A and B are shown apart, each in its own frame.
Chain A
Amino acid sequence: EAGVAQSPRYKIIEKRQSVAFWCNPISGHATLYWYQQILGQGPKLLIQFQNNGVVDDSQLPKDRFSAERLKGVDSTLKIQPAKLEDSAVYLCASSLEMGLGVYNEQFFGPGTRLTVL
């Protein structure tokens, strides 16, 4: 079974530039997550989709970050414009459909390491 795919694996940009990350979840997984992992910290949830609807985006800096999951499969996360503090690993994860009070295991991709200079 193929895992969660992410691209690119590494990206270096100047501050104020824009960048986009792509994620392809495991086939059949309705729920998709984007996390930000700053060096030395645990991953922090940015946004959670159930199919193509947003379940939670309370920690997404909406003035500069945006995410979409058209057609309920692939997803893209965009940063525009980037700041120095956005340097981090961006992780995508997917799971079977979440239900009220139901937890299904999240499977993580390898991440995209972003460096903002």
Chain B
Amino acid sequence: AQSVTQLDSHVSVSEGTPVLLRCNYSSSYSPSLFWYVQHPNKGLQLLLKYTSAATLVKGINGFEAEFKKSETSFHLTKPSAHMSDAAEYFCVVSDELNTGFQKLVFGTGTRLLVSP
């Protein structure tokens, strides 16, 4: 079974400084990986996805992530944090069911705090 590990439960940054949210994955085959964001009282939103094309993936709101097979990592970055980026971020891997269909396996989440 596929799994992901988010290495930090909380990350605090100042507005305007870079953001790094770390994620490592465990997979027996080439995985599909995603980052989702969850703002308070709002639904989960897809930030970006990696599906074996370019290893550097650009997402919405200036976020990007790089797939590194040698390090089994898929870290999320943003050059300059904005107050509106404060939210919970989930690293997600797609796992294949016995039926051949896909299901999402979520990490435990990283809460990003942005101070003025």
Chain A positions within 8 Å of B, measured between CB atoms, are 3-4, 40-45, 48, 50, 55-56, 91, 93, 98-103, 105-111
Interface residues of B (CB under 8 A from A): 32, 41-46, 49, 51, 90, 92, 94, 96-97, 99-109
Set of chain B residues within 8 Å of A100, measured between Cβ atoms: 100-101
Which residues on the A side are within 8 Å of B109 (C-beta)? 40-42
Whether A105 pairs with B102 at a CB distance below 8 angstroms is no
**Min CB distance, A6 to chain B, in Å?**
9
Give B39 Cβ to nearest chain A Cβ, in Å.
Answer: 10
Not counting A42-B106, A43-B104, A106-B46, a sample of 6 additional A-B residue pairs whose C-beta atoms are within 8 angstroms of each other reads A41-B108, A42-B108, A56-B103, A103-B102, A109-B43, A110-B43
Q: Is the CB of B51 within 8 A of A103?
A: yes
B43 touches A91 (CB 8 A): yes
Q: Establish whether residues B43 and A3, one from each chain, have CB atoms under 8 Å apart when the complex forms.
A: yes
Q: How far is the CB of A29 from chain B (nearest CB, A)?
A: 14
Check if A42 sits within 8 Å of B103, measured CB to CB.
Answer: no
B107 touches A42 (CB 8 A): yes
When distances are taken between beta carbons in the complex, the residues of chain B under 8 Å from A108 are 43-45
- Residue of B90, B92, B100 near A101 (CB, 8 A) is B100
Name which residue of chain B comes closest to A103, CB basis.
B102
**Known A-B contacts A45-B103, A110-B41; A103 and B32 likewise in contact (beta carbons under 8 Å):** yes
The answer to whether B102 touches A102, judged by C-beta atoms less than 8 angstroms apart, is yes
Residues in chain B near residue A106, CB distance under 8 A: 46, 104
A40-B108, A41-B109, A42-B90 known; A48-B41 Cβ under 8 A = no
Closest to A98 in B: B101
Report chain B residues within 8 Å CB of A43.
44, 90, 104, 106
Given A4-B43, A110-B41, A110-B42: A48 and B103 within 8 A (CB)? yes
How long is the Cα–Cα vector from A111 to B41 in the complex, in angstroms? 8
The 8 closest A-B pairs by CB, nearest first: A42-B106, A108-B43, A108-B44, A100-B100, A103-B102, A110-B43, A98-B101, A43-B106
